[in-house]
Structure 1
Amino acid sequence: MLVDYIRVYSQPTLRSAVTLDLRKRDRAREHLIGLIESRAIGQAIPSERQLSADLGISRPTLRAVVDDLVRDGWLVREHGRGMFVGSPKIAQEIVGGPSPTGGAAYPPAPGTWTSRVLSHSVVPAGTLVASRLRVTSGTPVLRIARQRLVDGEAISLETIHVLDEMVPSIDVMALESGSFYAMLREQFGVIPTEADQVHEAAAAGATEAALLGLVEGAPILTLERVTRDQNGRSFEFTRASYRADRYRVTSHLSLTGPAESRHTRITSVEDPAGLQDQATP
């Protein structure tokens, strides 16, 4: 691949052709996004043949743009019927520090987020959970499994582990309509202030597939997060799985601020998910 790029950019004629093709793709993408935004989900858009003629570009060039939009969920291609406006992926932005208002490092994600508590119980911390929370194995932790939905569609599964001594008599079922982090602040005086979070690609297991409406082995995006409170104590360890076809993470990087602000560590996550429990706790 690198050799191909070197060959192209060492020849002015080929370089000019590639540049022209990219410009055509950009123009086609802008045109298609405009069409999509002017229509409702499920509404048809013109055929590739018609769009190619309207834009004055080749079918292969247009098809490459359409393929990208299908992959991102903007369009749905149905064999024998045409192309229709789809539901684009939910984009959750992660920024490298607190918001100007002192809230989360996660701006609100699109859609109406709700939760469904699947199970909850106090269990002894196993080796993994204990190491993440920096406690001894066997320490009581409250484990909550919940399904996250956006506009009624299952998007993710979460298993939350929180030190039981910090949340006595918590109303777990209230998490279906309220914010976990807001509850911690208001009822228990626990202020989430810092977190380490890791995202990885994985394949859906049988249980994940069933609860997320996927086929077993479908791609998912996994998350692991350890959250610390205002005293620097690790109190929460969460593992989550997101539908890769409906959810993506974007990052905002500040490259001109002080050196200490230009890192990938996420801080001041008072309520990841847009202050009121939208994307993550």
Structure 2
Amino acid sequence: MDSSTGTSKYRAVRDHLVERIGTMRVGDRLPSEKELCEELGVSRITLRHAVDGLVQDGRLAREHGRGTFVSAPKPGIHYPERFADIVTGFHRQQTSAGHTVATRVLRQELVAADNEIARLLDVPSGARVVELVRLRFVNGQLHQHVVTYLPHDRFPECASADFTTGSLFDYLHERYGVVLSRNDMRVGVEEATADVALNLEVAPSLRLLAVASTVYDQDGHPVAHGVARHTPLNSEIELSLRVAGPTPQEA
């Protein structure tokens, strides 16, 4: 691991562990200290410092004589999405707040747009679109199941790009020059399908908070449509509304 100072080494190890446990299940065992030190190229002191912090946060648990295991997230921890004056993505929101975001890509393939997706993305029905299905973790805690569709003709490299780290919208900006200017949202409650329930580790038919979002570029063209589904444990969003012009005075 390429780090020059003790602080940067600690942060790099912590970030690696958070991302790693985000892809593991509760009860899974981490490799031994020796294995991790060799893999990451750091001292045991640095590794233990990072693990100690995650134990204190409740993300890891040590069992004497057995090892270190992924533990269940502490209840009541919320990482709300905030929707205000700036159109931005989930990844940037959370990392800007100092949190670590990890992503597990469940599916990334080309599919034919049904009538609804075609309408939302302004493409012909049956046109090829990229379907991207992901689990998002914040500080090691499973946060949301999100399905995103993007027009393949416009963003062909999204069919094969690596979205296990980083922000989808940052990638679109850097690779295609996309600047987001609008986000149309619909918030509702729906029952978890068998597939979503399995991945969110909840009971089928549990009622989930579903946030559907269609984002547009500066020219008013649809960029992507997605639905993020949240369990009752972390179903929380924040909205901030601002009057566009001067507030009329009451008569």
What TM-score do you get using the length of structure 1 for normalisation? 0.55
Q: Percent identity?
A: 20
Q: Does 1:258 align with 2:245?
A: yes
Q: Which has the higher contact order (CA 8 A, sep 6+)?
A: 1
Cα deviation 1:234-271 (Å, max 9, x = unaligned): 1211122111222301222336x6259xxxxxxxxxxx
Cα deviation 1:21-63 (Å, max 9, x = unaligned): xxxxxxxxxxxxxxxxxxx767xxxxxxxxxxxxxxxxxxxxx
Q: Distance in 2 between matches of 1:169 and 1:229?
A: 18
Match of 1:126 in 2: 114
Match of 1:227 in 2: 215
Q: Distance in 2 between matches of 1:179 and 1:155?
A: 16
The one-letter amino acid paired with 1:108 is: Q
Q: Is the 1:41–1:86 contact (alpha carbons within 8 Å) kept by the matching residues of 2? A: no
The one-letter amino acid paired with 1:104 is: T
From 202, 205, 222, the equivalent of 2:190 is 202
From 167, 174, 186, the equivalent of 1:179 is 167
Cα deviation 1:207-242 (Å, max 9, x = unaligned): 111111111222211011111112211121112211
Q: Distance in 2 between matches of 1:194 and 1:169?
A: 23
Q: Does 1:236 align with 2:221?
A: no
From 135, 138, 141, the equivalent of 1:150 is 138
Structure 1: runs of 5 or more not aligned: 1-39, 43-84, 261-281
Match of 1:108 in 2: 93
Q: Distance in 2 between matches of 1:105 and 1:148?
A: 12
Q: Distance in 2 between matches of 1:184 and 1:105?
A: 11
What TM-score do you get using the length of structure 2 for normalisation? 0.61
The one-letter amino acid paired with 1:119 is: R
Match of 1:137 in 2: 125
Q: Is the 1:191–1:230 contact (alpha carbons within 8 Å) kept by the matching residues of 2? A: yes
Q: Distance in 2 between matches of 1:181 and 1:140?
A: 20
Pairwise CA RMSD: 2.5
Match of 1:247 in 2: 235
Q: Does 1:90 align with 2:47?
A: no
Cα deviation 1:48-94 (Å, max 9, x = unaligned): xxxxxxxxxxxxxxxxxxxxxxxxxxxxxxxxxxxxx7433222222
Shift of 1:129: 0.4
Q: Is the 1:117–1:173 contact (alpha carbons within 8 Å) kept by the matching residues of 2? A: no
Q: Is the 1:193–1:230 contact (alpha carbons within 8 Å) kept by the matching residues of 2? A: yes
SS in 1 for 2:162: helix
The change in CA–CA distance for 1:137 and 1:86 in structure 2 (over 3 A counts) is: closer
Higher CA-based Rg: 1
Q: Is the 2:143–2:230 contact (alpha carbons within 8 Å) kept by the matching residues of 1? A: yes
SS in 2 for 1:215: coil
Shift of 1:173: 4.9
Count of aligned pairs = 173
Shift of 1:171: 6.7
The change in CA–CA distance for 1:154 and 1:94 in structure 2 (over 3 A counts) is: same
Counting only pairs closer than 5 Å after superposition, residues 59-98 of structure 1 correspond to structure 2 as: 86-95=75-84, 97-98=85-86
Structure 2: runs of 5 or more not aligned: 1-55, 59-73
Shift of 1:195: 1.4
